[in-house]
Amino acid sequence: MARATEAVPGAGEEALGEGGSQSPLRMALRRLLKKRIALIAIVYILIFYAAGATAPLLDGSGAIPGYTEQDLEEALAGPSLSHPFGTDRLGRDQLSRVIWAAQTTVIITVVVMVSGGLVLTVSMGLLSGYVGGWVDSLIMRVGDVFISLPGLLMLILINASLGDQVESLARDIENGVAIAPLGISLFTIKIGGLVRSGAPDYFLIAAALTLFSWVGGARVIRSQILALRETEFILAARALGASTPRILFRHLLPNVSNIIIVSLSLSLAGIAGSEIVLSWFGVGVQPPHPSFGALIFDASSVRTVNEHAYLLAFPGLIVAALFFAFNLLGDALTDVFTPRAR
Amino acid sequence: MEGTFSYLIRRLLWVPPILLVVSFSTFAIARFGPGDPIRIAGGQFRDEEAFERARVAYGLDKPLFEQYVIYVENVLTKGDFGESFRYQGRSVREIIMPAIWRSLQYNSVALVITLSFGIPLGIFAARRQGTWADPASISSFLLIQSIPAIVAVPFLLLFLAVRLPDLNLPDFFLFNPLESFLHSLALPASGWPRDCNVRLPLVGESYECLGVVSKEAIIPIIALSLPGIAVWGRYTRAFTLGVLREDYVRTARSKGISERQVMTQHVLRNALLPLSTIVAFAMVGLLEGSFFIETLTGVPGVGRLTFEAVLGRDYDMIMAVALIGATTIIMANIIIDIMYTFIDPRIRYGSRN
């Protein structure tokens, strides 16, 4: 995000030739802040992300019980002052589990947004649009394959198949892996607590989602780059001897940043939803680490809902509100960044 | 149109190689994973020798690539998609075809319902652009769309199948008509009729009934159709707004035609045509929804079949589902692109740029 926001002011001067004092980004931001619904959505998303990101701090400070802390006498208790969201079948505080589940969502959405939404999508779009030729054909054909795959089924298969492998790799790293090319031991990687932290699950889910999230955005960026490539200011930059990276990052990237922001915001609900669905299926984040998918799955049998509806209602409501906020934000950003739609 | 035709041929030529890549990656990923279908199918039964014999019988002892070549050969030459491990002794094709037919019943009805609510919603919102009714109407359906099916279905089951039949209203009269009316609205928790065989009197053969026309189908269809309404509403709204801005609409209004005529004859005709291209996408989206909704409500369709196939490591079933899914998506995309040229003749394929 940082690069996009810094680069956008350049777009006004270079592409649109607007010499005014207001940069397009600032104008867009002002328009966004005028939308009351979008503001409410942003506030909710911020609270959700703040809660998720500070889960370890909240836990450490003792404000909420740990997510594995059991109080078996209080199992399946309804919402009360000490347990606002009630407790689950194992007597664990549901509020704490929801906050830790939010952390899972935060990690996955942020990682996939950066790795898939920004790095992979943008580089593929720029490469195939600007370089063209066989690079373009290759990227687009690979994209054809990815777009044809039934995404949900493939995500489940990949996670189900590779989960154990990734976890054993993480266990190796916990025990120390010597990096020794040609038999000369250079250094040893040893990171403790990897498996317990859920890192292997996060890694696999994020990698799989990244792999399946770039095609649409890359195609849109590519078509925009194809059009921009022939414009005067790019020809001028090339005539002045600008290097390809400079043309790509200083001239082309700022001009597609609005597309990037819009497609990122529209993909957020899908990314968060995919992780929830994977964990619901049992191939995503593994217990005891909470995820909304697992929380929903545990609470969704008709008998449980009948007797302990709060176990499903609270996580379900929070997730639904998050998706709603993502959708509203996406709509607002589309409105703000694509002036024709206004 | 000649350009379109050669474009179609070129697109179709790409289908077999894409399907090959798709099938091989699915094949490899499915088999790479943990879990042994023979063991899972064996259940309590533990006899290593029998497992080994089964493995040889199914060809699972051969190297991965050889297995793949045999699979492709069988599919191409005999149209044989293999045998299910879960339902032993039955071919994949024999199991998957009725499942697809059942899902198709539910999804088509759901699509019709979605369209008949979504399109009027979009038109309503577009005509009230700038007033509170526009964002309010779309947002309320967007809120419904935001509830994940895995949360919505348990609550639908709870309210419509569990709580409704046990509902007790305070007695105002000796006889409580409202209560018995509400009780009569209660729905079964299962999504598919229990006894679904129809015996034709003259032929004597028994057929499966149409699951959609039963009371059991209501909850799955509600769950399938509600989320899509917002999607269609938003598309319809955007297209309608686009047309409302056109010069010919202004001209029509300035001629003094009634607003009703402007809407039906000038606006809607032009706004709804491009919508038809999205139907193909909507079908694909519905199939993804089926995965959860069929599993949660117990509809024996292709969604639940996929769910069970993945859990049971039913390799050939997974392959068949992936191939059918991929073919559907590819064909939907080609149909959409071709439809664009008919709807908007300004779009020409063939000559690039």
Minimal CA separation from B311 to chain A, in Å = 9
**Distant-in-sequence, close-in-space partners of B213: CB < 8 Å, separation ≥ 6:** none
Sign of CA dihedral A224, A225, A227, A231: positive
The predicted-structure confidence for A175-229, as pLDDT tens digits, reads as follows 777 666 666 666 666 776 667 677 888 899 999 999 988 888 899 899 889 888 8
The series of mean pLDDT values per 10 residues for chain B, 353 residues long, is 78 89 88 74 76 80 86 87 81 90 91 93 90 87 91 92 80 69 82 78 73 87 91 89 88 88 85 78 81 91 90 86 89 83 67 44
Tokens of B311: 């859990």
**Distant-in-sequence, close-in-space partners of A44: CB < 8 Å, separation ≥ 6:** A321, A322, A325
The residue whose two tokens read 């090339």 is A238
Pair A85, A98: CB distance under 8 Å: yes
The residue whose two tokens read 């989206």 is B285
Burial of residue B335 (number of CB atoms within 10 Å: 0-12, 13-18, 19+): middle
Pair A174, A193: CB distance under 8 Å: yes
Distance CA A274, CA A285 (A): 12
**Distant-in-sequence, close-in-space partners of B119: CB < 8 Å, separation ≥ 6:** B232, B233, B236, B272, B275
| Greatest mean pLDDT range, A7-16, A183-192, A308-317, B272-281 | A308-317
So what's the pLDDT on residue B204?
A: 66
So what's the pLDDT on residue A324?
A: 94
Give the max Cα distance, chain B.
86
Distance CA B6, CA B12 (A): 10
| Mean pLDDT of the region A286-315 | 88
CB-CB under 8 Å, B310 with A156: yes
What single DSSP character describes residue A282?
A: T
Interface pTM (ipTM) of the complex? 0.86
Pair B161, B188: CB distance under 8 Å: yes
Q: Which residues pair with A188 in a beta bridge?
A: A178
Pair A44, A323: CB distance under 8 Å: no
| Window 147-166 of A, Cβ < 8 Å to B | 147-154, 156-158, 160-164
Pair A110, A117: CB distance under 8 Å: no
Which of A145, A153, A297 is nearest residue B321 as measured by Cβ atoms?
Answer: A153
So what's the pLDDT on residue A9?
A: 41
Sign of CA dihedral A308, A314, A317, A319: negative
CB-CB under 8 Å, A144 with B33: no
CB-CB under 8 Å, A147 with B333: yes
So what's the pLDDT on residue B172?
A: 64
Burial of residue B182 (number of CB atoms within 10 Å: 0-12, 13-18, 19+): middle
The predicted-structure confidence for A52-74, as pLDDT tens digits, reads as follows 998 888 877 776 777 777 777 77
Decide if B318 touches A, using CB distance below 8 A. Answer: yes
Q: Give buried/exposed letters for B102-134 (b at 16+ CB in 10 A, else e).
A: bbbbbbebbbebbbebbbebbbbbbbeeeeeeb
Bridge-based pairing of strands A177-179 and B197-199 is unpaired
Sign of CA dihedral B2, B3, B8, B14: positive
Sorting pLDDT into bands at 50, 70 and 90, what band is A2? very low
For an interface test with B, the pick among A37, A44, A148, A311 (most B C-beta atoms closer than 10 Å) comes out as A148
**Interhelix angle for B315-343 vs B302-311, to 10°?**
140
Distance CA A112, CA A118 (A): 9
The predicted-structure confidence for A233-290, as pLDDT tens digits, reads as follows 989 998 998 888 888 888 888 888 888 888 888 889 999 999 999 999 888 888 878 8
The residue whose two tokens read 């259940």 is B43
Please give the residue that has the higher pLDDT: either A41 or B209: A41
What single DSSP character describes residue A187?
A: E
**Residue (of A261, A134, A140, A285) closest to A209 by Cα position:** A285
Minimal CA separation from B203 to chain A, in Å = 40
- Taking CB atoms and an 8 Å cutoff, what residues of chain B touch A328? 139, 142
Burial of residue B65 (number of CB atoms within 10 Å: 0-12, 13-18, 19+): exposed
Decide if B40 touches A, using CB distance below 8 A. Answer: no
So what's the pLDDT on residue A329?
A: 92
So what's the pLDDT on residue B288?
A: 82
Peptide bond into A288 cis (omega under 30): yes
So what's the pLDDT on residue A188?
A: 66
| Mean pLDDT of the region A311-333 | 92
Which of A145, A157, A316 is nearest residue B21 as measured by Cβ atoms?
Answer: A145
Tokens of B341: 């040229």
So what's the pLDDT on residue A185?
A: 62
CB-CB under 8 Å, A150 with B322: yes
CA angle A165, A209, A248 (to 5 degrees): 120
Distance CA B263, CA B269 (A): 8
So what's the pLDDT on residue A340?
A: 53
Question: Which H or E element spans position B197?
Answer: strand B197-199
Which of A150, A300, A331 is nearest residue B329 as measured by Cβ atoms?
Answer: A150
Tokens of B209: 């009934």
Distance CA B264, CA B77 (A): 52
Instruction: Mark out the alpha helices in B74-161 (DSSP H runs).
Output: 92-127, 133-146, 149-156
For A187, phi then psi, to 5°, come to -155, 170
Decide if B317 touches A, using CB distance below 8 A. Answer: no
Distance CA B332, CA B107 (A): 16
Residues for chain B: how many in total?
353
**% of chain A at pLDDT higher than 70:** 87
So what's the pLDDT on residue B263?
A: 86
Distance CA B281, CA A281 (A): 24
CB-CB under 8 Å, B151 with A320: yes
Pair B178, B169: CB distance under 8 Å: yes
So what's the pLDDT on residue A1?
A: 36
Q: Which residue of B has its CA nearest to A272?
A: B148
Pair B57, B41: CB distance under 8 Å: no
Tokens of A42: 């942003």
Pair A285, A138: CB distance under 8 Å: no
So what's the pLDDT on residue A313?
A: 92
CB-CB under 8 Å, B147 with A149: no
- Number of neighbouring beta carbons within 10 Å of residue A16: 11
3-state secondary structure B201-218: CCCCCEEECCHHHCHHHH
Pair B114, B228: CB distance under 8 Å: yes
Beta strands in chain A (DSSP E): 177-179, 187-189
So what's the pLDDT on residue A164?
A: 80
Amino acid at B333: N
Sorting pLDDT into bands at 50, 70 and 90, what band is A86? confident
Burial of residue A192 (number of CB atoms within 10 Å: 0-12, 13-18, 19+): exposed
Distance CA A239, CA B337 (A): 37
Pair B314, B37: CB distance under 8 Å: yes
**Residue (of B15, B1, B59, B2) closest to B334 by Cα position:** B15
CB-CB under 8 Å, A306 with B158: yes
| Mean pLDDT of the region A121-142 | 90
Decide if B34 touches A, using CB distance below 8 A. Answer: yes
The predicted model scores a pTM of: 0.87
| Mean pLDDT of the region A111-135 | 90
